[in-house]
Structure 1
Amino acid sequence: MKCIEVKDVSKFYHEKRHNKNLKILNGINVTVPTGTIYTLVGPSSCGKTTLLTCILGLQKFQNGEIKIFNRKIEFNKTSKFSHLIGYMPQQKSLPSNLTIFETLQYFGNIHLMNQETFYERFEMISKLFELPRKDKLIKELSGGEQRRISLAITIIHNPKLLILDEPTVGVDFEIRDKIWKFLTTQSKETKLTVLITTHYLNETEKADRCGFMKRGVLVAENSPNKIIQHFCVNKLDDAFIEIYSNDKTCFDDADSNKFETFSEEHEDLGINKDKIMIRHQVLKGLLLKEWHRIKRQKIDFVTIFIMSSAILGLVYILLGSFPNDLKVAVVLSENLQKCTINLNDKLSKFELCNNNTKLLCEFLNQMTDVDKIIYENYTEANIDFKHGTIFGFISLGSNFISSLIENNTKNIEIHIDSSKIFFKDFVNYKIFSTLEIFTKILKERCDINTNSMLPYMQVTDLQEISLNFDLSKFITINMLAMAAFITPMIYSGLIIYECRSEGIWERTYLSGVKVIEIITAYIIQCIFVSLLVTVEIFIFLIYVLNVDVLSHQFLIIFILFELATLGYLSGFLTSIFFKTLVGISGFCMGIIMIQFMASGIMWPLETAMIYIYPISYSSPLTLSRQLFQRYKAKILQSAPKGLSEHLKRVVQLVKSHLSSFHIDTEKDVILYSNDGAALMKKFGFLMNLPLHFSTSKNCNRLTLKRHKRHD
């Protein structure tokens, strides 16, 4: 019985440029009897490698039929023959970061070899091919040594059929001779069948049969001696010239009858009928390979996983902190250049409260975190402001303190560079907070009644940013979701690309590893990587941000683990769809930027157009970020006041500044005259209240939208 039988097989590719089918195999017929060495000879691009991949089920063919051991071959369905076949591809297809022993052990595990048999075969093959020491890394070997390792992998499990694609390329003459002696001995003693492609015609003479291919067609098939005799030449090289130069052929089917002696053996070859879904030894081999890779690339591995903490650390250091040394000018008539001490601690009540100049000094001393520059001339301050020398300036009249005590603040004038929004709001906040602190000093030290003074000063506790608020923590926690997602995505994408570029997947699949086993191995890796990222960020929360997470630790761990898992799977899918490193890197960067923008991390989603919402909520970061946001309010600051408290403050403000108004507290609506519209809008902005403005003929309407409180 024939070991390999190829009948009228045709394969073509569709060439888009010329819109036609390009034939690679054109009705080819090949017969490889059992227990023989069959060499396939032909020029480059004649279809030799394509024929081998079709025989192995790695490529589809359009017409014809292929049989191995008298069983029909189907595309991607050769796992039942895996333990009977050893395949050596034209590429080296070796894991570069594993040692010689680890590489052979990996393939021994996925071929389900027991330990004793593996060590026996390893010692025999090491002596036969004169392999280097077993602890030497694959990437440290020469090209010829790597070819020997590749051949050793092919025969480690003692297969019945070897399919070798140019195995002796780059191998020295002595080792090449040993390889052929091994093949011929095994063919005679153990009925080993070998299908081999080669460019060396002197090797072809050692084969039992040889086939000559030309433009996807077998033009000659016979034993080397018969071919030499047929063309009346002395060497196979001369016969090769006759075949390819003069388009001659040579077939002798009768010669193949002598190879039929092993036909009865095919029924006892033991086709793999293992119905176990996941085999423990195969899974062990897959995981060990990745563990060895991590050990050899520990610097790269640690660098990738430090990235999460590095991103968060940079965000914590660079973003969210209040600006320092902002140059703000103060224009006033009094000479206060020597106002450098905290007068509140040095002066008596009489000295402080009966001297407006010293009170003004105290007011300026309370304005911290800004670099105050005293100007005596309004024009000079305005010129420096326009030239950008100072960020802004405050003009205080000579009777500023008196006006403040009398509840009249018309003598304060503020000029700030509006192009820098965050700095502008910060300076505004510092001025208002300074006024609040100063009014408390007046009340406590000078017994000046401040109950009706500047009502808007009493609502600063409603604002999210307070004197004790750590904006760096606030922003960093907002970035946790992003950091947990990015690291596993980058890691999985690069690792899978590396495996595929080395050609390990193809050899692993042809060794009989099931898809479910590969997926299971990657799921275990995913869990490991996700746990690592989760623990890393969790530790960052506790020891760097000093956040108390004990009351919600399981929720936080779940969110981080879910994000890391989704990130790993995203990298996995990206590396499958994109074949190049540039494609994988570019797509990952695109995903990161889209997630960053569409999930509300950079800017609130409420400002986006409505058709962005489906994209946003399909992002794994959106809901996770929202969960973090609801939790971080408890971490960083107490919950805001209820709606009734907000309403009381609004009423107090309106009473102080508006002459006519009507309040409907049940409907949370305030009706007021048109004169107060600008003030109310400003007040809503300062307090960050959910205000809605609408205008009618007679009055404006201010509505406070209710929001549920999240405890």
Structure 2
Amino acid sequence: MPQELALYGEFSINETILYFGWIYGLKTKDIKERVRFLVDLLDLPPGKRLVKNLSGGQQRRVSLAVAVLHQPELLILDEPTVGVDPILRANIWNYMVREAKEKKQSIIITTHYIDEARQAQTIGMMRSGEILAENAPEQLLKMYGCTSLEEVFLNLSQQQEIALKADTPTKSVEKQFKVRHEKKSEGLGELDEKRYGCCNRMCNSLTYCISCVRLRALLYKNSIRLVRNLPVLLFIFALPVIQVILFCVCIGNDPKDLTLAVVNKEVNYTNSSYLYCPYDFECTLSINGNQTIVRDWEYMSCGYLVYLDIDTINLEYYPDTSSCTKAVVEGKAWGCMYIKSTFSEALLERVKRIFLNNLLESVKHTTLSEIQVWLDMTNHQIALVLQRDILQGFDNFTKDVVKQCHVDSTLFRPPIRFETVYGSNRPVFTNFAAPGVILTIVFFLAVSLTALALIMERNEGLLGRSFVAGVTATEILFSHVFTQFIVMVGQTLLALLFMIAVFKVDCIGSMVGVIVMALLQGLCGMCFGFVISAVCTHERNAIQVSLGCFYPTIMLSGSLWPLEAMPKVLRCISWMLPLTLATRAVRSIMLRGWGIEWSHVYWGYVATCAWIAIFMIVAILIVKFKKA
């Protein structure tokens, strides 16, 4: 029994005793019988009360009940009667004296109350880290000629002070303090063999055995921790859904309502929001035999502006180029488009020369029919969207004009044709980033589930007390894996459901393959969280390490940008990260429809499983090292 509480505050009294009883290898029936006895002996409150709601003295009594629950052959108690009333203190001492005589228990007690120690068979008096005397109480009184143990301790302390000033050891220390190792305890080993049948001698020497009884107790403890924090549990399940919604709504879609300043010299400027432009969409060019009949073209610039995507581009009109470019400089517009007064006329002459096979004359009118555009290139994505829609709008405009004139539109098509092998002609960035984002969400949410698990138990003292009770590092890690894996499965399925079913992110491959990879990445994140929890001693350090790993991982794993854009050195580092090959595998499944037979896919599974094993082994070794 440690001096600190070393109990979990969210447990009730009954749950605390049941947990440690299972760890000690007791049957539930025997635990309940012992609970009834200990409640009467220690005057414990009702069993359903939570430990955190008890007074300090009541919490100490619960801790004592846990220590004596399984009636060990060796019992070490650190000040068990602190904060206990005299009557209860007497009952505790009577119980321990009776257990020592009848059950042959060896009980070692530390206490500041010297008088109560008189009931012990042997007393060791310690001061400043030194044993001043060790003998039976009556022998000490007789040896130093005192009537109370307090007088004996006072005399020994005074002798120690004199000896310290003289820098020589006291005679009592030299005479009384002898460490003997004549006898080796054999009962504890037999008790372990009897109580934990699954662990043989070889297993105990390797300390890798997993007891089903202890594992059940640890799972019971972890489950209660989750259920008792219901608001936190609901937030844990809601968090991946919120992140997926924010990603799908905010990332990858084309920007809307981009202001484009326009100066159209073909018409008279009226105001910035409206420009009267009487465009008549009538065929103005026809071919009759060997003759080309061309009507006058007017206000063709207005026809072109109609074809600009009104969802993406918001047109604002300006009277001249200086005011137009000023709007871009001041951040009021993303670009400035200038259409010359000769646009329609020059475009007409240009087309006429093409049909008349007079290409040299056509070149002369090229400059006059050009549309000049100045763009704000500080935002690369917006500039690309504006360029794309401006060019696409003009392409659609010319195709419709040619079509109405009964001219084959292929004459105006570029000589290069692009066809897709995978994906669509107008790719969406959301589809590219979704595989990496979903794996990153699952991985780091799993890290957050486990990064603080061991630290919290270590700070509460529960981890050390569980180790003393016989729990191994392997059992603790596996119990957390089993418990948190259930939570992680729910998080993963909810995230995939919203991303694929609700927001319709493309997935032409096997959903089973995507789910399995996401679950493996979640398990990998949990194991990485255990490594952080095992290494760090404070919660703030674990949080800083987790956050510090987030941005390098997401930037180097190819989730948001192609790996081919990286320098070769960083690319080599990137391939060694847990998320890189997995992201490539899921992207191949979702966007290409590949299966496990493709190397891109199966290497993702292999790398993830390898990282799971590495993280788990490292975590177990670190916990064992710190335990030792």
Q: Verify same fold: TM over 0.5.
A: yes
1:24-43 paired onto structure 2 within 5 Å: none
Counterpart residue number, 1:301? 233
Which one of 477, 492, 517 corresponds to residue 559 of structure 1? 517
Is the 1:392–1:416 Cα contact (8 Å) retained in structure 2?
yes
In structure 2, relative to structure 1, the CA distance for the partners of 1:355 and 1:584 (3 Å cut) is farther
1:222-233 paired onto structure 2 within 5 Å: 222-233=135-146
Is the 2:244–2:499 Cα contact (8 Å) retained in structure 1?
no
Counterpart residue number, 1:382? 325
Question: Does 2:88 align with 1:129?
Answer: no
Q: Which runs of 5+ in 1 are unaligned?
A: 1-87, 636-711
Counterpart residue number, 1:117? 30
Give the drift of 1:335: 3.1
Which one of 335, 339, 342 corresponds to residue 399 of structure 1? 342
What is the alpha-carbon distance in structure 2 between the residues aligned to residue 487 and residue 269 of structure 1? 42
Is the 1:166–1:198 Cα contact (8 Å) retained in structure 2?
yes
Counterpart residue number, 1:184? 97
Partner SS state of residue 625, structure 1: helix
Counterpart residue number, 1:573? 531
Is the 2:122–2:136 Cα contact (8 Å) retained in structure 1?
yes
Q: Deviations over 1:649-688 (max 9, x none)?
A: xxxxxxxxxxxxxxxxxxxxxxxxxxxxxxxxxxxxxxxx
Question: Does 2:569 align with 1:611?
Answer: yes
Which one of 144, 156, 160 corresponds to residue 243 of structure 1? 156
Partner SS state of residue 91, structure 2: helix
Moved more, 552-561 or 516-525: 516-525
What is the alpha-carbon distance in structure 2 between the residues aligned to residue 267 and residue 320 of structure 1? 68
Which one of 306, 310, 314 corresponds to residue 365 of structure 1? 306
Counterpart residue number, 1:291? 223
What is the alpha-carbon distance in structure 1 between the residues aligned to residue 431 and residue 538 of structure 2? 38
Counterpart residue number, 2:382? 423
Give the drift of 1:92: 0.9
Give the drift of 1:634: 4.4
What is the alpha-carbon distance in structure 2 between the residues aligned to residue 444 and residue 164 of structure 1? 96
Counterpart residue number, 2:88? 175
What is the alpha-carbon distance in structure 1 between the residues aligned to residue 394 and residue 245 of structure 2? 35
Is the 1:243–1:249 Cα contact (8 Å) retained in structure 2?
no
What is the alpha-carbon distance in structure 1 between the residues aligned to residue 419 and residue 302 of structure 2? 26
1:198-217 paired onto structure 2 within 5 Å: 198-217=111-130
Is the 2:19–2:221 Cα contact (8 Å) retained in structure 1?
yes
What is the alpha-carbon distance in structure 1 between the residues aligned to residue 506 and residue 316 of structure 2? 41
What is the alpha-carbon distance in structure 2 between the residues aligned to residue 178 and residue 404 of structure 1? 108
Moved more, 234-243 or 466-475: 466-475
Give the drift of 1:441: 1.6
Moved more, 557-566 or 185-194: 185-194
Paired-residue identity, %:
26
What is the alpha-carbon distance in structure 1 between the residues aligned to residue 185 and residue 564 of structure 2? 74
What is the alpha-carbon distance in structure 1 between the residues aligned to residue 587 and residue 185 of structure 2? 70
In structure 2, relative to structure 1, the CA distance for the partners of 1:425 and 1:265 (3 Å cut) is closer
What is the alpha-carbon distance in structure 2 between the residues aligned to residue 342 and residue 468 of structure 1? 33
Counterpart residue number, 1:327? 259
Partner SS state of residue 272, structure 1: helix
What is the alpha-carbon distance in structure 1 between the residues aligned to residue 91 and residue 419 of structure 2? 87
Which one of 36, 54, 71 corresponds to residue 158 of structure 1? 71
Identify, as 1 or 2, the structure richer in helix.
2
Is the 1:121–1:156 Cα contact (8 Å) retained in structure 2?
yes
Is the 1:599–1:605 Cα contact (8 Å) retained in structure 2?
yes
Q: Deviations over 1:177-196 (max 9, x none)?
A: 32222212222332222101
Question: Does 2:56 align with 1:143?
Answer: yes
Is the 2:9–2:52 Cα contact (8 Å) retained in structure 1?
yes
1:196-595 paired onto structure 2 within 5 Å: 196-247=109-160, 270-273=190-193, 274-276=197-199, 277-333=209-265, 334-335=267-268, 349=282, 356-367=297-308, 368=310, 369-404=312-347, 406=350, 410=367, 411-448=370-407, 450-453=409-412, 455=414, 469-525=427-483, 527-547=485-505, 549=507, 551-595=509-553
In structure 2, relative to structure 1, the CA distance for the partners of 1:464 and 1:439 (3 Å cut) is farther
Counterpart residue number, 2:622? none
What is the alpha-carbon distance in structure 2 between the residues aligned to residue 376 and residue 570 of structure 1? 62
Give the drift of 1:467: 8.3
TM-score by length of 2: 0.78
Which one-letter code corresponds to 2:460 in the other structure?
A: E
What is the alpha-carbon distance in structure 2 between the residues aligned to residue 438 and residue 464 of structure 1? 28
Is the 2:259–2:313 Cα contact (8 Å) retained in structure 1?
yes
Counterpart residue number, 2:554? 596
Q: Which runs of 5+ in 2 are unaligned?
A: 161-169, 200-208, 286-293, 352-364, 594-628
Is the 1:211–1:221 Cα contact (8 Å) retained in structure 2?
yes
What is the alpha-carbon distance in structure 2 between the residues aligned to residue 372 and residue 118 of structure 1? 79
Which one-letter code corresponds to 1:397 in the other structure?
A: K
Partner SS state of residue 394, structure 1: strand
1:616-635 paired onto structure 2 within 5 Å: 616-634=574-592
Is the 1:230–1:250 Cα contact (8 Å) retained in structure 2?
no
What is the alpha-carbon distance in structure 2 between the residues aligned to residue 204 and residue 252 of structure 1? 23
Is the 1:396–1:412 Cα contact (8 Å) retained in structure 2?
yes
In structure 2, relative to structure 1, the CA distance for the partners of 1:354 and 1:473 (3 Å cut) is farther
Is the 1:400–1:409 Cα contact (8 Å) retained in structure 2?
no
Is the 1:385–1:393 Cα contact (8 Å) retained in structure 2?
yes
What is the alpha-carbon distance in structure 1 between the residues aligned to residue 333 and residue 422 of structure 2? 28
Give the drift of 1:575: 0.6
Partner SS state of residue 5, structure 2: coil
Which one-letter code corresponds to 1:238 in the other structure?
A: E
Is the 2:258–2:314 Cα contact (8 Å) retained in structure 1?
yes
Q: Deviations over 1:397-446 (max 9, x none)?
A: 12323444536653211100122211111111110111121122212334
What is the alpha-carbon distance in structure 1 between the residues aligned to residue 249 and residue 573 of structure 2? 31
Give the drift of 1:597: 1.8
Q: Deviations over 1:572-599 (max 9, x none)?
A: 0111011111211111111112211211
Which one-letter code corresponds to 2:448 in the other structure?
A: I
Is the 2:257–2:314 Cα contact (8 Å) retained in structure 1?
yes
Give the drift of 1:219: 2.0
Give the drift of 1:550: 7.1
TM-score by length of 1: 0.69
Counterpart residue number, 2:4? 91
In structure 2, relative to structure 1, the CA distance for the partners of 1:249 and 1:303 (3 Å cut) is farther
Give the drift of 1:160: 2.2
What is the alpha-carbon distance in structure 2 between the residues aligned to residue 409 and residue 175 of structure 1? 105
In structure 2, relative to structure 1, the CA distance for the partners of 1:384 and 1:114 (3 Å cut) is closer
Which one-letter code corresponds to 2:106 in the other structure?
A: T
What is the alpha-carbon distance in structure 1 between the residues aligned to residue 185 and residue 85 of structure 2? 36
What is the alpha-carbon distance in structure 1 between the residues aligned to residue 570 and residue 427 of structure 2? 32
Partner SS state of residue 133, structure 1: coil
Which one-letter code corresponds to 1:307 in the other structure?
A: L
Give the drift of 1:448: 4.9
Counterpart residue number, 1:639? none
Moved more, 302-311 or 264-273: 264-273
Is the 1:283–1:517 Cα contact (8 Å) retained in structure 2?
yes
In structure 2, relative to structure 1, the CA distance for the partners of 1:264 and 1:465 (3 Å cut) is closer
What is the alpha-carbon distance in structure 2 between the residues aligned to residue 569 and residue 393 of structure 1? 54
What is the alpha-carbon distance in structure 1 between the residues aligned to residue 111 and residue 62 of structure 2? 18
In structure 2, relative to structure 1, the CA distance for the partners of 1:630 and 1:612 (3 Å cut) is same
